[in-house]
Structure 1
Amino acid sequence: MEHADLTLPDKPKLVTNITHFARALRVAGLPAGPGRVADAIRAVAATRFDRREDFYFTLRACFVSRPEHRDVFDQVFRLYWRDPQFLEHMMSLLTPQLRGVAEERVARAAEKRAAEALLHGVARDLPQLPEGEATEIEIDASLTMSAEERLKTLDFEQMSVAEMAEAKRILARLQFSVPPLMSRRSQAAMRGPLVDWRRTMRMAAGQGGEVMRLARKSPRIRWPALVALCDISGSMSSYSRAVLHFLHAVANQKGAGWAKVHGFTFGTRLTNISRHLTARDVDAALAAAGAEAQDWDGGTRIGACLETFNRDWSRRIMGQGAVVLIITDGLDRDAPEALSAAMARLQLSARRVIWVNPLLRWDGFAPKAAGIRAMLPHVDSFRAGHNIAALAGLAEALSRPDDMGEKARLMRMLTA
């Protein structure tokens, strides 16, 4: 980011300004505790910010410890230290009555979250009543429902801090069960639909060869495993976090029907985070998963990561008719031939492969990227995954074996 017009406060107020800046970062979700504030003050005093860029990178080195924190830090920094007109734009996003700067452009990712953090505790514009005059407040319960319905269709990337927190609570309540698989093996059952002749003959042998009663059996039921391959590259970061919350809820949901839930993240390399999904606390689970996956917000090598999965993990966890969810935008930088081969191998190992792609939210989406064209023929269903409603639609894809989502339409475009 540029720092040419950076305006620094007076030195006597610098400590206070850094403290308030750290408070805004903490509200936005960054771990900006007292220790980091003290480190930042000492670091700024040591560098003396002779160059404007030094001040930005000094604070970033003190407060940013993970790649996913950079966007929020940059937006809060710009709000607090640089552009007063940008603050007006952010206030207008939070109070729709204001106009002007907000009409010039749409908020980018993390801007609304940064604005809420910086304006945390600031009173919004409320109508002032004459002194002594009372007002009657009416509560309409329908507003709560309409707000929740609106949240279900809101893009994850455009959610504020409060909206994302509410979205996570909604995702934790989603039911994501799967119909059982009917095995060719059977099990003993008092009123089973089938006669177990082998057990009947064994029972008759103990009765002098006389058949006293018929033993019954029923088909054995087994449950498939769920394998999720989640893209955590820069273009997928916001969506991946929401999907991981969703997978954590599925992994800890009793009676969902899954034999086991396996989770993998990939960007430039493949990381197994399955053991972290079993932790009861979702924040602790995702913090541990984020610490293990070192390629957050990086590049994307889908083909190489899928090849690694096929080689190292496929035989271990795909032997029970597993259902595979691939959450990615399909924008790969490797050769499409290698990606196509890896997808074909994956499809042979899985019972079903469902591709969840946030890019499908655009009405004009077409399979033009080489990675998308290489992956599309090797999936069973192709669905959107940019909001709560789209993730809830995955239940339909699993309950209906013939569900293809948008694959048929896009395949016609691909072969046209």
Structure 2
Amino acid sequence: TAPTAPTIPPTDLITHITRFAAALREAGVAIALGDEIDAAGSLVHIDLTDRGEVRLALRTSLKVEHRAWPLFDHLFGLHWRPGGPPTPPRDSQRPTNRRAPRTWPGHGNPLSELARTIAQHGRVGPLDDADTTGTDTGRPGYSPRALLRRKSFEQCTDDELAAMERLLAQVARKLATRRSRRLVPAPAGPAIDLRRSFRRSLARDGELIDLARRTRAVELPRMVVLCDTSGSMDPYSRLLLTFVLSLGKVARRTETFAFNTSLTRLTPWITAGNVAATLSRFAREVEDWSGGTRIGRCLAAFVHDYLRETVTGGTSVLIFSDGLDRGDTGALEQALLAIRRRARRVIWLNPLMGDPRYRPEARGMRTALPHVDHLVPAHNLESLERLVDLL
């Protein structure tokens, strides 16, 4: 289940958003007054008990730049926590001017220092309750699970791989069962269905006793996943394929393929069996596993053999690859053009983007960039969690 947001009375919601926006400004994030109004309006249309949904709605309506997302996420964790927002300062503690204090009572470092820390080191605190579990490391905001979420797949020890595989399965389940914006009738839910409620009242002489409810429908996403299993992807292949395998198990409308110098359809092999055994079978039966890469030729084969069957206007196509292509970039471009014309969106997930020095200068990536909707990292658990927002 999704982490719950704090219960805030409607009369306090505007004040709470204002305080949160002020904290963001003090940390150097540009927030306009109109954005605060948009943020208040956005919360009317969502499930306020879903903390992840509240976070996404606020981040979108406040127009937070991508580079400021880690800072936003950390401040969101402080201001919108299950235990309630930080206690407002008493009158004697309030600043004499109209600006928010740089240090909220009980929260240590000034926000400007927090912004610098996050800019240097990335996220410094948990996003949800799950991050706060585990053995205390002596540093606020860190737990073994939180650290594992940010650890690159290529650096995981054998002991960490099993834990990482379990976490990847959880992310896959969340991705496969995310809720859409569409509201449907339900026995219980956060939204009141006024039309059905009034219809019920007619049978009781106009007395509105039983309120009809609506909740957001569970959306079963339609996806096609193509995973690069060439030698250059070896440091990431096991965990990425674990994620892809878990996704295929829980998302029934997912088609899965592996490619290197040729294309292999993996969907028929994905069963409820042991993940390690399935991966071993993949390694045995996928031709040229850990070998070279012909991305263009493989995607062209996908277009010729499977595109019409697997990709519709509602399909998201996910391509896991470092883009190190030794083949014909013309074939790659033509294949991506064909996929883009039919798909809802094309997302290229590149594990090399975990290195801040990385630039998409390889021939394959330069060719692909104009034809994908998103180029995102895929080097750790945290990067894969962001797929939920993209989809």
Q: TM-score, normalised by structure 1?
A: 0.50
Q: 1:292 aligned to 261, 285, 291, which one?
A: 285
Query: 1:181: how far off?
Result: 9.1
Q: 1:227 aligned to 200, 203, 224, which one?
A: 224
Other structure's SS at 1:331 match: coil
Task: Tell me whether 1:309 sits opposite 2:302 in the alignment.
Answer: yes
Which letter maps to 2:166?
R
CA distance in 2, matches of 1:228, 1:376: 18
Query: 1:232: how far off?
Result: 0.4
Aligned counterparts, 1:119-268, within 5 A: 141-143=135-137, 146-174=143-171, 175-177=174-176, 178-180=178-180, 223-253=220-250, 258-268=251-261
Query: Does structure 1 retain, via aligned residues, the 8 Å contact 2:261–2:293?
Result: yes
Q: What residue number does 1:321 align with? A: 314
Query: 1:320: how far off?
Result: 5.8
Other structure's SS at 1:295 match: coil
Aligned counterparts, 1:8-407, within 5 A: 141-143=135-137, 146-174=143-171, 175-177=174-176, 178-180=178-180, 223-253=220-250, 258-319=251-312, 321-398=314-391
Query: Does structure 2 retain, via aligned residues, the 8 Å contact 1:180–1:224?
Result: no
Query: 1:380: how far off?
Result: 0.8
Deviations along 1:144-199, whole A, 9 cap, x unmatched? 962222211111112111111221121122221345598xxxxxxxx9989xxxxx
**Cα RMSD between the aligned structures?**
3.0
CA distance in 2, matches of 1:340, 1:352: 16
Deviations along 1:385-409, whole A, 9 cap, x unmatched? 00111111111111xxxxxxxxxxx
Which letter maps to 2:278?
A
Query: Does structure 1 retain, via aligned residues, the 8 Å contact 2:137–2:143?
Result: yes
Query: Does structure 2 retain, via aligned residues, the 8 Å contact 1:277–1:286?
Result: no
Which letter maps to 1:142?
D
Other structure's SS at 2:136 match: helix
Other structure's SS at 1:304 match: helix
Identity rate of aligned residues, in percent? Answer: 37
The alpha-carbon distance between structure 1 residues 179 and 352, as it changes in their structure 2 partners (threshold 3 A), is: farther
CA distance in 1, matches of 2:296, 2:147: 36
Range 225-234 or range 154-163, more displaced: 154-163
Range 141-150 or range 239-248, more displaced: 141-150
CA distance in 2, matches of 1:192, 1:225: 32
Which letter maps to 2:158?
V
Other structure's SS at 1:326 match: strand
Query: Does structure 2 retain, via aligned residues, the 8 Å contact 1:252–1:280?
Result: no
CA distance in 1, matches of 2:345, 2:194: 30
Other structure's SS at 1:142 match: coil
Other structure's SS at 2:324 match: coil
The alpha-carbon distance between structure 1 residues 149 and 308, as it changes in their structure 2 partners (threshold 3 A), is: same
Query: Does structure 2 retain, via aligned residues, the 8 Å contact 1:247–1:277?
Result: no
Q: What residue number does 2:99 align with? A: none
CA distance in 2, matches of 1:221, 1:164: 30
Other structure's SS at 1:176 match: helix
Q: What residue number does 1:51 align with? A: none
CA distance in 2, matches of 1:363, 1:245: 25
Query: 1:381: how far off?
Result: 1.0
Q: TM-score, normalised by structure 2?
A: 0.53
The alpha-carbon distance between structure 1 residues 193 and 340, as it changes in their structure 2 partners (threshold 3 A), is: farther
CA distance in 1, matches of 2:220, 2:143: 37
The alpha-carbon distance between structure 1 residues 338 and 192, as it changes in their structure 2 partners (threshold 3 A), is: farther
The alpha-carbon distance between structure 1 residues 363 and 267, as it changes in their structure 2 partners (threshold 3 A), is: same
CA distance in 2, matches of 1:395, 1:181: 14
Which letter maps to 2:302?
F
Which letter maps to 1:316?
E
Q: Which is greater in Rg?
A: 1
Which letter maps to 2:380?
N
Query: Does structure 1 retain, via aligned residues, the 8 Å contact 2:297–2:328?
Result: no
Which letter maps to 1:295?
D
CA distance in 2, matches of 1:259, 1:226: 9
The alpha-carbon distance between structure 1 residues 147 and 320, as it changes in their structure 2 partners (threshold 3 A), is: same
